[in-house]
Amino acid sequence: MKSLKTFAGFMCLATSMLAAPHVQAGQLADRIASGQSIRIGFANEPPYGFPGDNNEPKGIVNTYVIAVLHKMGYDKVEPVVADWGGLIPGLQAGRLDIITGGFAILGKRCANITFSEPMMRVTNAFIVKKGNPEGIHSYKDLVSKNAVFVTGAGYGTVGNAKQEGVPDANIMQVPGQAEILAAVESGRAAAGGSDYLSAGEIVKKSPGKVEVTNPDDLPEQYTNYVGIGFSNNDKDFIEKFNAAQKQYIGTPEMLKAVAPYGYDEKSLPGDKTTEWLCANR
């Protein structure tokens, strides 16, 4: 993508795995001052974050974060690819400096990390077999039919399903998109839970076999807002990041950069704040 290539000359791209040993970091500002790279952690979760052919950090949130950091004057970035469920623990343990890839701002997450102001609005949807033979459109349908629901470990849809009464025994948690698709295709799960954009990406991998349900069939309360995750020790850096993103978000430059991944004006977060979301999601 053109916007990523623009920064290729500035970035030190050294993809590493979360399990690899790292020196325990101090605050992010201290790392930057000492000349170290900013370690951006993300999972392989298109369209939000994924590694490109040359290990560039691609996707909506990666493209956005790299642009904001560039405007702040920071271009030395190290992408770190990990399983979704390992990103928050990696941030807490000091192995990562920033986590991207589409983390919804939820109260349970706010208790462990600090989020930037939201940069995206996302709706949820289900992935079902073509024609939706079991008639699954909502969590209530899962409950009434005693159906198995598959979703990613650490996804917000896990909590949504539990809140709507889906029993733990009927919630299958898997590492990511490929496993969600496999469970629905094989019939081990009646529906897979994801956000609407990711669901569209999953369906592309199985043309004619699965489809995406109407996101309007799910309650509005499960519309989420994506933020960038930071360590609780980096409040000063987060304030500067928020100031920079305020000048960038919604601009023609920003919308053009993320448009190839499906982000448009409808994806802008509106007037929701991180403080409100931490208290109400």
Identify whether the C-beta of residue 113 lies closer than 8 Å to the C-beta of residue 233.
no
Per the structure block, which two tokens stand in for 239?
């304030």
Q: What is the CATH number of domain 124-222?
A: 3.40.190.10
Please check whether the two domains, 2-121+225-269 and 124-222, share a CATH topology: yes
Confidence check: pLDDT of 56 > 80: yes
pLDDT digits (tens, 9 = 90+) for 207-261: 889 999 998 898 888 899 999 999 999 999 999 999 999 999 999 999 999 999 9
Identify whether the C-beta of residue 78 lies closer than 8 Å to the C-beta of residue 39.
yes
Query: Which residue is it, tokens 């001052």?
Result: 33
Confidence check: pLDDT of 277 > 60: yes
**Which one-letter amino acid corresponds to residue 258?**
V
Average pLDDT over the chain, rounded to an integer: 89
Q: Rounded to whole angstroms, how far apart are CA atoms 40 and 100?
A: 7
Across residues 48-62, what is the average pLDDT? 92
Facing residues of 191 across strands? Answer: 149
CA distances from 215 to 30, 40, 174, 185, 196 (A): 43, 30, 22, 20, 7
Indicate the Cα dihedral angle 100, 123, 154, 56, nearest 10°: -30
pLDDT digits (tens, 9 = 90+) for 30-40: 999 999 999 99
Question: How many residues would you count in the chain?
Answer: 281
Confidence check: pLDDT of 128 > 80: yes
- What integer pLDDT is reported at residue 88 of this predicted model? 96
Identify whether the C-beta of residue 30 lies closer than 8 Å to the C-beta of residue 95.
no
- What integer pLDDT is reported at residue 8 of this predicted model? 40
Q: Is 165 exposed, middle or buried (0-12, 13-18, 19+ CB in 10 A)?
A: exposed
- Mention the CATH class of domain 2-121+225-269: alpha beta
Q: Where exactly are the structural domains of the chain?
A: 2-121+225-269, 124-222
pLDDT digits (tens, 9 = 90+) for 172-218: 999 989 999 999 999 999 999 998 988 988 898 888 899 999 988 98
- What integer pLDDT is reported at residue 16 of this predicted model? 45
